[in-house]
Structure 1
Amino acid sequence: MNKFLFFLVLMASAASVTSCTQDDPYEEYFNNWMNNNVTPNTSSGNSATTGELASFDVAIDKSTAEPTDVATAYYPDEEDMLENNDFSTEVAIDLSNPVSKTVDGVEITVNGSHVTANHGSEKKVCYVVSGSTTNGSLTILGEKKYAVKLNGVSITNPDSAALNLLSNKRAFVILADGTTNTLIDGVGGSQKGALYCKGKLLFNGSGSLSVTGNTNNGIHSADYITFSKGCNIYVKATENHGVKANDGIFINGGVLNVEVSAAAAKGINSESHIIINGGRTTVLTTGNGAYDTTDKSVKGAACIKTDSTLTVNGGELWLKSTGSGGKGINVDMEANFNGGSVYVVTTGGQYKINNDSSSPKGIKVDGNINISGGRIWVRTSGYNGEGIETKKQMTITGGEVASYAYDDAINSKSNMTITGGYVYAQGQHNDGLDANGNCYIKGGTIFAICSGTPEVAIDANTEGGYKLYVTGGTIVAVGGVENGSSLSQSCYQASSWSASTWYALTVGSSTFSFKTPSSGGSGLVVSGASQPTLLSGVSVSDGTSYFGGLGIYGGTVSGGTNISLSSYSGGNGMNSGPGGWH
């Protein structure tokens, strides 16, 4: 239904009510709309399910054990690797009792508890920093690359940055083994971060570091940042981003936890590429959306934001955004998922102000999305929250992709192509798979679920002159597929289906067992390389689990009732337009 017409109907309904209470849904809708707040759920369709995909959560995890799923580490330059450098000239700085001195060509000056170290043109310098101060800072200057070994240091600077690395050369920050280190900046200064680095910022070592940014970012590099295996870093920012880099962020290992609470703030924010090759990265954002007066647009918070490309090759990403308009991943260019594990939860609804809005998304990419391996799980529960969305093309050739979303589960503005992998897409109030161009299913296993008529489990933009083309793959579609589809591989409709029930779909010698949702679209459509058989009410043991236990391949199937299948040509309800109702 047209949004404006729907709003008028609600206003008329609200006007006809003689008395309202706090529980009146029309009053809630009216007040939220007029206050430019979050629009509540008003959809009548609903598709629900259970299992791990519907219940997994994301929380800060400071334990030191790193995941074993890693890819080859990436460093923009061989000189960025600590083992390729010599920092044998150690200069000790005790912030509990700082002393002005000159040693090995390094000049140390002290002003109260504020220490400045300048190594000039000296090479191989490693500052070994220890001690604590509640009203001090450490600033480093120099014309050559250097290392800063944090050896049990605690710096609180009420006025500005705690650690200010103002040399534009490489800065290797080494967390000494077994040590705990803390950096906290003040409120209201002009610093760019509690830890600010003018040059390349390269984290190493196996100690821990806690950084709190109270004015701007937690950690900020004007160049790029690398994280290596062994580091255990926690960053909290209350006014802006957690980790910010101008020229790229490269996570090769370590444990990184980030929490940000400011409106529209980003947990990890890069103006250039972000590459994840290993480690465990957890990001929580709690801020609502905000109006950007510079860009004159509404923006939401995001756990990971890049103005360029995102590539995930290994490691783990755990991302949760709870504010209105929040996103797990927000990419301006292309996103490539080749390995590793990505878990995303968003719980906030749409943020609306000045006739502009920011909708929550699990993964939002303005360029193409390419998925060739790894695991991606996404869940959105707030109003208008889409699971995985690309403004261009979606290509899935491998891996496991599971999206359980308030709105469309997996959406592409242009063509969507699936040739392999395992794909689960459940739209609680809209389509499962939704391509606003052509949708090509050539292989893989697809389990798609929609909310009910007029939505469909697998949707292509037929009204725009595009089609769904099925030439391969194993398909389960609760809610049918788009009208006018080209089904070169035959599809079949079950005579009936039952909610919350285990089924076994056998195609040739391969059996895919799946659990139906507790509610969802009408009609159960299946397809395979040869005519399949379908059993209902089965018991399944062993096998390989997918989608948080909602699908099993190769298990031992027992019991069940044979379900008759009839030829199916496509269509279940009316066409709903690109992306359904938004």
Structure 2
Amino acid sequence: MKKRYVMSGLLTLLLMAGCQQAGTTSVDSSAAGAANSTANSATSTSAAAATQTTNASTKTKYGQYAESDYDTNETGTTIQLATDSAEIDGSGATFKENTLTITQAGTYVLSGELKGQVVVKGTNKDAVHLVLKGVTITNDQGPAINVEQADKVTLTLSDGTENTVSDGSDYQLATGEDEPDATIFSKDDLTINGSGSLVVTGNYSNGIRGKDDVVIVSGTISVTAKNNAIKAKDGLSIAGGTFTLKTTEGDGLQTSNTEETDKGWLAIDGGTFTIEAGRDAVQAATALKIQTGKFTLKTADGAESSVNSEESYKGLKAGTSVQVDDGTFDINSADDGVHSNGTITIDGGQWQIATGDDGVHADTDLVLNGGQMTISKSYEGLEGSTITFNDGTFDVTADDDGVNAGGGSDTTTDTGSFGEDTFGGPGGAPGGPGGGDQADDSKEIIINGGTLLVHAEGDGLDSNGNITMTAGTVFVDGPSRGGNGSLDYNGTFDQNGGVLLATGTADMAQATSETSQQKGLAVYLDSSQDKTLQVTAGETTYSVKPTKAYQFIFVSVPEMQAANDVTLAVGGTVKETGIVTGAVTDSQKLGTYTLDNTITQVDQSGNAVSGNQMSGMGGFR
């Protein structure tokens, strides 16, 4: 191979003659490269977000990964950058006026420092592989790396190296143009792999942006950007890596194509993510799918933020659906912790959420199949048109409703910092009328299993339609303020199994419905209590410690089916959170109550109280 040493400016012109006399190609010559021109072109990544298995991993992934995405080969043209010059050993590249231009398919190994930019200008069939082996690229007037045309460009972060790229705050764009707009900008498919590190500073707008698909296989990537840290148009696939992303006005991870239903998706199959975002931490234009990962997410100043409610500051956000299999999530968001304009399905994971609005919000269906979730602060905790609990452990604290099927508070004009939510029907169908006392059968809370602990200042379980419970364990540490109830539904609450204890204000109190197959007991106390509650039915005792004063108790447990009465006591100490099985010492008996009906409602003395629909201590019916 021929070896060339090239410089920009006057020095380049002075050296040209000497270089030509030595038989070396001049800087303005076209770089014909037989070796690189025969390099294989990569096949474009499919746009559809279907699952696939690659040879690099036998585990099915949500992202789209081609075999070439894992290629870290470093054999090819070597380019040593030296501020305003470049030494090129090989073919396929030229250097002029502080711009390194790649014009052919192949592998290019870059090292050194450049005050200028790297431009890829091949054909739409060229697969270009750039190996970053300890580079620092700074361009004050545009992108550091600009892919104008290729089939696909792969950036490999060479093992043991740190690579830094940055742009200026003012791009020199042609009149009427608004692109490129990122420190690393690609009009075509872009892949990042390797075990080295990449530090990106986006002073103008975005840090990394691809206008087709972006694939990140591995690496340690740090991005600080004015707008979005990492943005893709059609699809963003992340197999792994370590990410530290910080933005002032944009999202941490974003996809943007809302016009094509099979694009705009975002898939994460692993990795560690620390994101501080000026807007959403993770936003998918359509579907967001997470197999696993470790996520520490903060938007704006977190749950205590005072921000513009016209903007979005969500933790995880999707336009059509959110699917989470597993992972660790620590979300501190000004807006919803997890949000979908369609459905949300959570199969597992360890969750810690603090938010200024909803903990988890789905416009249509919210399905909880597993995991351990603590929502320590929220306006409303879990919200959707339908909410289904199949398994998992959920500890929810809310300033208003804890679990809300239907949206909006029934009793207050305060709807949180971001306004009242709107909802569709199940599966995305239009919702029926809501609010008031009219039942909307498209709104429902379904409890088939799992453990749910609700601390609510508004309604505990609130459905504009119905509630159905067949199994699971639920404790509602309900409201102490008037106009709310531990249980609030406009249709029916059929309890056919499971353990349910609810405490709270007697105002607006409801028990389960007479159509339930499992017996229930509602007791209106003479005065408020703030002590541990103990419930004994048959040979089994349940104990729980409410965190707020209560004057209403509702209990329904399987043992009540065979028992003739239930004994309630208060006092003693329960160290565990939620409902525990077993008696506590030093408790005082409130009374023993005979179960005369499917749903028995009495005052503390055992006198029957008629009516179930929002009766209160001010007037039993």
TM normalised by structure 2 equals: 0.66
The answer for the alignment partner of 1:114 in structure 2 is 117
Deviation of the 1:451 alpha carbon: 1.5
| 1:445-471 residue CA offsets vs partner (Å, 9 max, x unmatched) | 11113213432111111xxxx122222
The answer for the alignment partner of 2:132 in structure 1 is 128
CA contact (8 A) 1:506 1:512 kept: yes
| Structure having the higher Rg | 2
Deviation of the 1:512 alpha carbon: 4.5
| Mapping for residues 87-486 of structure 1, pairs under 5 Å | 87=73, 89=75, 97=83, 99=86, 101=88, 103=90, 105=92, 110-111=98-99, 112-118=115-121, 120=123, 121-123=125-127, 125-135=129-139, 137-150=144-157, 151-158=161-168, 159=170, 161=181, 163-169=183-189, 171-177=190-196, 179=197, 181-187=198-204, 191=205, 193-205=206-218, 207-214=219-226, 216-229=227-240, 231-246=241-256, 247-261=264-278, 265-286=279-300, 288-290=306-308, 298-322=310-334, 326-347=335-356, 360-380=357-377, 385-390=379-384, 392-413=385-406, 414-428=443-457, 430-452=458-480, 453-461=482-490, 466-479=491-504, 482=510, 485-486=513-514
Separation of aligned partners in 2, 1:334 and 1:276: 14
Separation of aligned partners in 2, 1:526 and 1:196: 55
1:491 matched to 2:523? The reply is: no
Q: Is the deviation greater in 522-531 or in 509-518? A: 509-518
Pair 552,528 (structure 1): closer, same or farther in 2 beyond 3 Å: closer
CA contact (8 A) 2:79 2:88 kept: no
SS in 2 for 1:488: coil
Separation of aligned partners in 2, 1:510 and 1:126: 68
Pair 95,226 (structure 1): closer, same or farther in 2 beyond 3 Å: farther
5+ long unaligned stretches in structure 2: 1-57, 100-114, 172-180, 257-263, 407-442, 561-565, 602-610, 617-621
| 1:518-555 residue CA offsets vs partner (Å, 9 max, x unmatched) | 33x421221111226555434557xxxxxxx4225467
CA contact (8 A) 1:448 1:476 kept: yes
Task: Report the RMSD for the aligned CA atoms in angstroms.
Answer: 3.3
Q: 2:61 aligns with which of 66, 74, 97?
A: 74
The answer for the alignment partner of 2:548 in structure 1 is 518
Deviation of the 1:333 alpha carbon: 0.5
Pair 410,103 (structure 1): closer, same or farther in 2 beyond 3 Å: farther
Q: Is the deviation greater in 372-381 or in 503-512? A: 503-512
Deviation of the 1:283 alpha carbon: 1.5
Separation of aligned partners in 1, 2:145 and 2:65: 28
Separation of aligned partners in 2, 1:474 and 1:398: 14
CA contact (8 A) 2:267 2:288 kept: yes
SS in 1 for 2:395: strand
CA contact (8 A) 1:378 1:387 kept: yes
Separation of aligned partners in 2, 1:302 and 1:572: 39
Pair 96,251 (structure 1): closer, same or farther in 2 beyond 3 Å: farther
SS in 1 for 2:229: strand
Deviation of the 1:117 alpha carbon: 3.4
The answer for the alignment partner of 1:12 in structure 2 is none
Count of matched residue positions in the alignment of Structure 1 and Structure 2? 454
Deviation of the 1:308 alpha carbon: 1.1
SS in 1 for 2:551: coil
Deviation of the 1:495 alpha carbon: 7.6
CA contact (8 A) 1:140 1:165 kept: yes
Pair 418,268 (structure 1): closer, same or farther in 2 beyond 3 Å: same
Separation of aligned partners in 2, 1:82 and 1:197: 15
Deviation of the 1:488 alpha carbon: 3.0
The answer for the alignment partner of 1:20 in structure 2 is none
Separation of aligned partners in 2, 1:404 and 1:162: 40
Deviation of the 1:557 alpha carbon: 5.6
CA contact (8 A) 1:493 1:565 kept: no
Greater relative contact order (Cα < 8 A, sep 6+): 1
| 1:373-413 residue CA offsets vs partner (Å, 9 max, x unmatched) | 112222335xxx211211x2111111112211001011001
The answer for the alignment partner of 1:550 in structure 2 is 577
CA contact (8 A) 1:254 1:279 kept: yes
SS in 1 for 2:329: strand
The answer for the alignment partner of 1:294 in structure 2 is none
Deviation of the 1:569 alpha carbon: 3.7
CA contact (8 A) 2:350 2:372 kept: yes
SS in 1 for 2:465: coil
5+ long unaligned stretches in structure 1: 1-70, 292-297, 348-359, 542-548, 577-582
Deviation of the 1:476 alpha carbon: 0.7
Separation of aligned partners in 2, 1:139 and 1:117: 6
Separation of aligned partners in 2, 1:104 and 1:537: 83
Separation of aligned partners in 1, 2:268 and 2:79: 29
The answer for the alignment partner of 2:260 in structure 1 is none
Deviation of the 1:337 alpha carbon: 0.9
Separation of aligned partners in 2, 1:78 and 1:133: 28
Deviation of the 1:516 alpha carbon: 1.2
CA contact (8 A) 2:344 2:367 kept: yes
Pair 123,299 (structure 1): closer, same or farther in 2 beyond 3 Å: closer
Separation of aligned partners in 2, 1:124 and 1:134: 21
Separation of aligned partners in 2, 1:86 and 1:477: 59
TM normalised by structure 1 equals: 0.70
1:446 alignment partner AA: V
Amino-acid identity (%): 21
Q: Is the deviation greater in 236-245 or in 473-482? A: 473-482
Pair 128,564 (structure 1): closer, same or farther in 2 beyond 3 Å: same
SS in 2 for 1:530: helix
